[in-house]
Structure 1
Amino acid sequence: MSARSTGAPAGAAAAVTPAPAGRMLVLATVGFLVNFWAWALISPLGSAYRDRLGLTGFQQSVLVAVPVVVGSLGRIPVGALTDRVGARVMFPAVSLATVLPVLYIGLVAESYTSLLVGGFLLGLGGTTFAIGVPLVNAWYPPARRGTALGLFGIGMGGTAISAFTTVRLTDAYGQATPFLVVAVVLVVYAAVAAALLRDAPGRAVPAGGFWRRTWDTARLPATGQLSFLYAVGFGGFVAFSVYLPTYLGNAYGLTPGDAAFRTAGFVVLAVAMRPVGGTLSDRVGAVPVLVVSFAGVAVLAAVA
């Protein structure tokens, strides 16, 4: 969002940024990153699960897709809860809750069905995007929200960390190791967030029930328009990044390690461009940035 879209003077809006905003942005970004790291744990191991359990290509695809679908749909109730109780409560709570499916998949799940159940619950980690966005928005004025949210978006680099480390840790120390590491990181982050994270002063608590607020929001024309753009843009990115290790292995015969490394490169580039896109949106407006981005993606998709 930019000052241009809200009508707020850029200089005036930038001048009222509260002093702790930067610290809250860092805490939110780290929380986003570690939960996305957990959210993406199954994807790099898709080929290993296929070989171990004798899965078909379709079953493997479903396995890596389940956390993505659940994480996407789960953002609606998690976002509503964040409006109600604040990110200070929700970030530690969701981080701790995500520990359970991480440990279940790493230590308990042995069958395809149990992995699907674990993946379903693991989708909770993907809902943290809906916690961080309102937190960051509340701490920053309209003229700086594009840049702030772009920096917050670096947290999706958690999928790159998963791609870089999961297969290597599994090969070196056993299949449970990456899950144990992520569980510890989530617990540490939850403790730090509970101690240091703060909602913006004067945060408004919405009136009315969940269903009423959801319906009122869904009726806004902008909701459908922006949801479509988000589904194609970020939804396409997440789906492709999660499925890419499977695709590279099945279509090109790459080893799990090589496929994961190439996927990490794809994610790192997207992460690096997040702050660039946010800053450009603040300066020239969101629409021109979207037009150029989607046109570029369309051309590259045709090439691929």
Structure 2
Amino acid sequence: MSQSSGSAATVGPDLTRGQSKNLALATLAFAISFWAWNMIAPLGVRYTESLGLTSGEKSLLVATPVLVGSLGRILAGALTDKFGGRLMFTVLLLATAPFVVLVGFAGRQESYGLLLLFGFFLGIGGTTFAVGIPFVNAWFTADRRGFATGVFGAGMGGTALSSFFTPRFVTWFGYGVTHVIIAVALVVVALVVWSAMRDSPAWSANTDPVVPKLVAAAKLPVTWSMSFLYAVAFGGFVAFSTYLPTYLKDVYDFDLTQAGTRTAGFAIAAVIMRPVGGVLSDRVGPRAVAATSFAGAAVMAVIVALQPQPEIPAGISFVLMAAFLGLGTGGVFAWVAATAPKERVGSVAGIVGAAGGLGGFFPPLVMGATYDEADHSYTIGLVLLCVTAIVALLYTLFGVRRKEPVGDGGR
């Protein structure tokens, strides 16, 4: 007992000295990788017009990068437990860069097949989320992990940067040069991460084989509880962030830049609320935060389905939707940090993160399949979102066990 206390006293000052810098670097790496991950969606209108895509083809193109970015998180999280965040961030940033350029090449060739192929591998950029959660978790004590994971999660603002700047970069610099710029940015950030980032002194490598480690994480009740909730919260955010430019074009007839600007505003609102969700979870418990998120999302889905008029009513509706979803993403991962066993945070985060990404993969396909072209309406898809959010609310309140295996995250 005294040995454990002495160890904690030794580690504490080291964490304090390095945690802010490493949290900032992890958030930067997450943001630029998410920008790359979201390179196709802001240009979806362009691809639709140049390639003559149907609604279904357009939805598949936008959703494809989400797929590997989701499933890849399972492996990325487990490998982070073994190799640490510094190495994994660097490798994944460098691995994403070539596919950003190749997506640009496919667009130049106006090849739908190549866009799908390279867009699939572009999803590598989306796996960094499962690297950052265990990385920042190790840098902070239990009472501040909601704050830490919330701040790191704000790096999902990379989707806002992409939505706002990618169409403008295409206008300012040209289509091909835009993809080169983002690829170079990925390489530069990878070099910064490798030279300046450090794994926490409190972190130690989990050398268990990857497959048994994932199986062990999959056996934890918290893994599947949080996977469902995160699939709704983060999945809703990803689905809106990737499909909103298309939605705004179809429903409100905004052009590429106008739709991108408004999508960026949506993403920024969610980004701001994610750390708020984490901080509130430290204070009132993640259960209350998640329940508020899902209740609000259900209400806003109904309001958005009524197609409020632009600019103010529609703008406020989408911002509130984003705020509730962002609050939920912060709350759910604060719950993960509070309840997952320390040595399996990466593996659990990988599985939960994958569920969140998959939660964002299917809604764009559903939206495309249920789009009423005659009425320019996505009512069916939004009603399904409302029903899903209500189910998540009920599960949050009554389905998740009050006492979890570790910590008191089920308050």
TM-score (ref. length: structure 2):
0.69
Q: Aligned AA for 1:82?
A: T
Moved more, 203-212 or 142-151: 203-212
Of the three residues 14, 19, 22, the one matched with 2:20 is 22
User: For residue 191 of structure 1, what is the aligned residue in structure 2?
Assistant: 191
Q: Aligned AA for 2:60?
A: V
Note closer, same or farther for the CA distance 1:166–1:155 as it changes in structure 2 (3 Å cut): same
Measured in 1, the distance between the counterparts of 2:154 and 2:282 equals 17
Measured in 1, the distance between the counterparts of 2:173 and 2:26 equals 31
User: For residue 38 of structure 1, what is the aligned residue in structure 2?
Assistant: 36
Give the alignment of 1:27-106 within 5 angstroms.
27-106=25-104
* Structure 1 residue 150 displacement after superposition: 1.0
Task: Give per-residue Cα distances to partners, 1:98-149, cap 9 Å, x unaligned.
Answer: 0010011113452000000111010000000011111000000010000111
After TM superposition, the runs of 4+ consecutive aligned structure 1 residues lying more than 3 A away are none
Percent identical among aligned pairs is 51
Q: Is the 8 A contact 2:106 2:115 kept in 1?
A: no
Which consecutive residues of structure 1, in runs of 5 or more, have no partner in the other structure?
A: 1-11
User: For residue 239 of structure 1, what is the aligned residue in structure 2?
Assistant: 239
Measured in 1, the distance between the counterparts of 2:177 and 2:162 equals 12
Q: Is the 8 A contact 1:44 1:167 kept in 2?
A: yes
Structure 1 residue 267 corresponds to structure 2 residue 262: no
User: For residue 6 of structure 1, what is the aligned residue in structure 2?
Assistant: none
Note closer, same or farther for the CA distance 1:155–1:273 as it changes in structure 2 (3 Å cut): same
User: For residue 200 of structure 2, what is the aligned residue in structure 1?
Assistant: 200
* Structure 1 residue 38 displacement after superposition: 0.4
Q: Aligned AA for 1:280?
A: L
Give the alignment of 1:37-186 within 5 angstroms.
37-109=35-107, 110=109, 111-186=111-186
Counterpart secondary structure, 1:203: coil
Measured in 1, the distance between the counterparts of 2:118 and 2:246 equals 19
Measured in 2, the distance between the counterparts of 1:85 and 1:220 equals 22
Moved more, 285-294 or 134-143: 285-294
Note closer, same or farther for the CA distance 1:290–1:52 as it changes in structure 2 (3 Å cut): same
Q: Is the 8 A contact 1:92 1:193 kept in 2?
A: yes
Q: Is the 8 A contact 1:68 1:239 kept in 2?
A: no
User: For residue 5 of structure 1, what is the aligned residue in structure 2?
Assistant: none
TM-score (ref. length: structure 1):
0.93
Measured in 2, the distance between the counterparts of 1:211 and 1:169 equals 42
Measured in 1, the distance between the counterparts of 2:258 and 2:147 equals 33
Greater RCO structure (CA 8 Å; 6+ sep): 1
Measured in 2, the distance between the counterparts of 1:220 and 1:278 equals 22
Q: Between Structure 1 and Structure 2, how many residues are aligned?
A: 292
* Structure 1 residue 228 displacement after superposition: 0.3
Counterpart secondary structure, 2:17: coil
Counterpart secondary structure, 1:250: helix
Counterpart secondary structure, 2:77: helix
Q: Aligned AA for 1:67?
A: P
* Structure 1 residue 251 displacement after superposition: 2.6
Q: Aligned AA for 2:85?
A: A
Moved more, 276-285 or 99-108: 99-108
Q: Aligned AA for 2:103?
A: I
Indicate the RMSD between aligned Cα atoms, in angstroms. 1.5
Moved more, 92-101 or 201-210: 201-210
* Structure 1 residue 171 displacement after superposition: 2.0
Structure 1 residue 277 corresponds to structure 2 residue 265: no
User: For residue 213 of structure 1, what is the aligned residue in structure 2?
Assistant: 213
* Structure 1 residue 57 displacement after superposition: 1.0
Task: Give per-residue Cα distances to partners, 1:24-82, cap 9 Å, x unaligned.
Answer: 00000000000000001100100101111111111011001011121011100111111
Q: Is the 8 A contact 1:150 1:278 kept in 2?
A: yes
Measured in 2, the distance between the counterparts of 1:97 and 1:65 equals 20
